[in-house]
Structure 1
Amino acid sequence: MDIRKIKKLIELVQESGIAELEVTEGEESVRICQHRDQTSASQTTQQIHTLANSPQVDNSQDDASDVDQVTDFDEKNTVISPMVGTFYLSPAPEAEPLCKVGQRVEQGDPICIIEAMKMMNQIEALRSGIVSKILVESGDGVEFDQALIIIEDE
């Protein structure tokens, strides 16, 4: 599916106020979901989920302060997302989180999960230390190379 068509579909969803639109063209399919933030109805997040070999696009409107917070941390202490997907702190909705702020983690410990294309991918700590900050809420969409968790030295 052509990227121009996808952009027009995004604009259609934004202008019409509909919550979800799914279009299938041959073997390619695109689903556009619009979620409204409960604290600010003017902020919207567009997530496009693609199937088959169609391109994947994510059009998010974030505050500049959210982007700036990532640059305040040392890269060696930051766990970054290796893929685009949905971030989870626990393996199930009622389960204990894999890590919490203040918790000590060892290199190789699973600290979060990213769901991508219906596959649950465990993300492991790349170093030992104390979890000082979790930058993403469980259930939020994450981008490739997005900072997720800060692990500080003991």
Structure 2
Amino acid sequence: MDRDFIKEIISLVKGSDIKSLSIETEGLRIHIETYQKEYPQRAEVHREIKHVEILPPSEEATQEKHLHVIKSPLVGTFYRSPSPGAPPFVEVDDIVSPGQVLCIIEALKVMNEIESDVRGRVVKILVENGETVEYGQPLFLIDTSV
């Protein structure tokens, strides 16, 4: 995050009714608080920056760096297993490898196998079996730090 971006955020907050703003991006947290200066003789109110705090990345943000998102490459119906009654391809906490099938997305009566592109542990399955998914929709969270 560069200085110009931070200055732009500060000026936007200064010119608005925002009293407090926190931003967390790329492992960096910024917290800005404002207060009002009143000048009764001119009936004007000026907003001034009271406090700007740039904090080290939170543990959660650091942990998220190790999470890889597997996204849907197409629109269709999400299936966790190869057929009804069959066990799912993967479960939460399973270790997966690149090329391993994670699910199937049915589109136009074609069954498309969705494979992992990383090695890691399945942290979360973000879609329910039989649910319609959109292009680019997150399907799985994979922890690549294992």
Q: Shorter-chain TM-score: which interval?
A: 0.5 to 0.7
Per-residue deviation at 1:74?
5.6
Matched, 1:77 2:62: no
Segments ≥4 residues shifted beyond 3 Å? 73-76
2:126 paired residue among 135, 139, 146: 135
Percent sequence identity is 46
1:2-151 alignment runs, 5 A limit: 77-151=68-142
The one of the two structures with greater contact order (alpha-carbon pairs below 8 A, sep at least 6) is 2
- Aligned equivalents of 1:129 and 1:109: distance in 2? 11
The alignment's C-alpha RMSD in Å is: 1.5
Structure richer in strand, relative to its length: 2
Point out where structure 1 has 5 or more consecutive residues left out of the alignment. 1-72
What is the Cα deviation at residue 76 of structure 1?
Answer: 6.4
TM-score by length of 2: 0.54
Cα distance in 2 for residues equivalent to 1:74 and 1:117: 35
What is the TM-score normalised by the length of structure 1?
0.51
Look up the equivalent residue of 2:92 and give its one-letter code. V
Distance 1:74 1:148, change over 3 A: farther
Distance (Å, rounded) in 2 between the aligned partners of 1:80 and 1:120: 16
Kindly tell me: are residues 117 and 75 of structure 1, through their superposed partners in 2, closer, same or farther at Cα, counting changes over 3 Å? farther
Aligned residues: 82
Gaps of 5+ in 2: 1-63
Q: 1:75 to 1:83 in 2, by over 3 A?
A: farther
Residue 104 of structure 1 aligns with an amino acid whose one-letter code is I
